[in-house]
Amino acid sequence: MQVDKTTLHDLAIFHSSEEQSLFHLLDCTTTVGGKHWFHHLLGHPYSDIEKIKQTQQTLQLILAKQDKWPTLITNGAIMVVQKFYESSVEAIPRHSSAFGSMAYKTIHSPDYSLIKFSVIQFVHFFRGLHQLIHHFDQENNPPLFQNIINQIKLLTTPVHIRTMMQWPAGKELSTTDNLNFGHFLLYHFKEQAIQLVDIFSKLDAYHGMAIATQKFRFSFPEIKQTVQPFIEAKNVFHPLLNKAVAYDVLLNPDGNFLFLTGANMAGKSTFIKAVGVAVYLAHTGMGVPAESLSCSLFDGLLSNIQVEDNITKGESYFYNEVQRIKKTIEQINDGRNWLILIDELFKGTNVQDAMKCSLAVIEGLRKMNNTLFILSTHLYEIGEGLKQYPNIRFCYFETDTSNGQLHFSYQLKEGISNDRLGYLILKREGVVDMLEGL
């Protein structure tokens, strides 16, 4: 699925602040390599429905056999495996005898200690891989997962490696064992060892995605290949919020444009981002923050949420808003299925200008039946003129005011809001009193 950097930023898929980063929230990997692979998988949502389904099946398989997942392979063990090939030790003898082994251990004591420690970690690593093969190698595996298992089986065929894979737990290695294994690993198995580390890192990423799906009570969505796009979600929520309110969402060819209104802080932006995050995660193959989600396979997802001005180029906020809309129109005018998220269109100009510009954009975009739109605005006045279009749905977030206090239900309702609460918020926060006291 096509997604640009602006959209990744708007949806906080990656963020320098861990508290605002979906990647940091969902990262349940246990190794550095797994973290890197998860970053890659999260940053590259699929456009192929088969790849999505196979990823889902892989995560479901991992969850079904969670108690069989190897715990012997730790990040520390993998780091030792990698560092072993960067170390400089005295040449390890081949097929060392008991006498030769003792001589090497005595003469090159520091080198032997490094070799011994490394070989022990290799044994843990290979025994863990053996557990994976033993518990997860089966005929009905999804091809994605079985291909990984087959790669491990192919790379671990050498006799020395098979011996290490089946080394009894608790049985110590002799000095001769350490040197013979060390010789083979250092001089004959470097490339394969590096490949196996990368393969397990990818498995760790999938394992982390599965654990995150379970940990945050996500559900696996149903993705369908359809001519026109749709989204049907029950209780979708934003995963970065501790006490998130859940929403039901329905967008389809008969109502592909959601015109969203409501006061500041009522929940419009959170709703838009929650839908965007759910659809985005669905295309990575992992679970989504919703009780259930069924949607079409989208070719692209674009957002217009946090537009910024550019001082160095002398570009105003409004100019960049216009350029973002222009770029969006150019991209989605290709007959493919898109999801477009727009929060507060044309904030960078006066109200009259914003109304005229917004009306022109909405009346143009609503003609595109290959795209779903969610657009929020304070300009509720333009809503009446848009009611003539049957494919535009109107929803709002209700706000209740009593005794000068604001109460947000965060519930999505049918209709158009005409709440004007800016001054009330200014007064509630004490700003009006401060100004009067100057």
Alpha helices in 189-334 (DSSP H): 190-215, 268-282, 317-332
Which one is predicted more confidently, 431 or 177? 177
Q: How many Å is the Cα radius of gyration of the chain?
A: 29
Residue with tokens 């359809």: 226
Do the bridges between strand 2-3 and strand 247-251 make them parallel or antiparallel, or are there none, so unpaired? unpaired
Distance (Å, whole) CA 93 – CA 141: 42
Provide the token pair at 311: 């001082």
Q: What is the dihedral of CA 257, 263, 269, 270, to 10 degrees?
A: -110
DSSP 420: -
- For residue 422, pLDDT beyond 70: no
Per-residue pLDDT tens digits for 370-407: 999 999 988 888 999 999 999 999 998 877 666 666 66
- For residue 97, pLDDT beyond 60: yes
Once rounded to an integer, what is the mean pLDDT over residues 289-299?
A: 97
Q: What is the mean pLDDT of the chain?
A: 91
Provide the token pair at 250: 């329905």
- For residue 310, pLDDT beyond 60: no
Phi, psi of 400, deg, nearest 5 = -110, 135
Output the pLDDT for position 314: 41
Distance (Å, whole) CA 259 – CA 269: 13
Output the pLDDT for position 311: 41
Adjacent-strand bridge partners of 251 = 231
Once rounded to an integer, what is the mean pLDDT over residues 309-330?
A: 73
- For residue 92, pLDDT beyond 50: yes
Distance (Å, whole) CA 135 – CA 15: 37
> What percent of the chain clears pLDDT 90, i.e. is strictly above it?
73
Q: Collect all residues with Cβ–Cβ distance below 8 Å to 135 and sequence separation of at least 6.
A: 65, 68
Once rounded to an integer, what is the mean pLDDT over residues 64-72?
A: 94
Once rounded to an integer, what is the mean pLDDT over residues 294-300?
A: 97
Once rounded to an integer, what is the mean pLDDT over residues 20-44?
A: 97
Per-residue pLDDT tens digits for 125-151: 999 999 999 999 998 999 999 999 999
Per-residue pLDDT tens digits for 222-236: 999 999 999 999 999
Q: 432 falls in which pLDDT band (50, 70, 90)?
A: low
Output the pLDDT for position 240: 95
Residue with tokens 């602040």: 17
Once rounded to an integer, what is the mean pLDDT over residues 338-350?
A: 87
Output the pLDDT for position 222: 97
Output the pLDDT for position 317: 75
Distance (Å, whole) CA 203 – CA 37: 9
Once rounded to an integer, what is the mean pLDDT over residues 117-129?
A: 97
Distance (Å, whole) CA 305 – CA 85: 48
Distance (Å, whole) CA 298 – CA 277: 13
Per-residue pLDDT tens digits for 243-274: 888 999 999 999 999 999 987 776 889 999 99
Asked if 415 and 394 touch (Cβ cutoff 8 Å), the reply is yes
Provide the token pair at 43: 């940053």
- For residue 313, pLDDT beyond 60: no
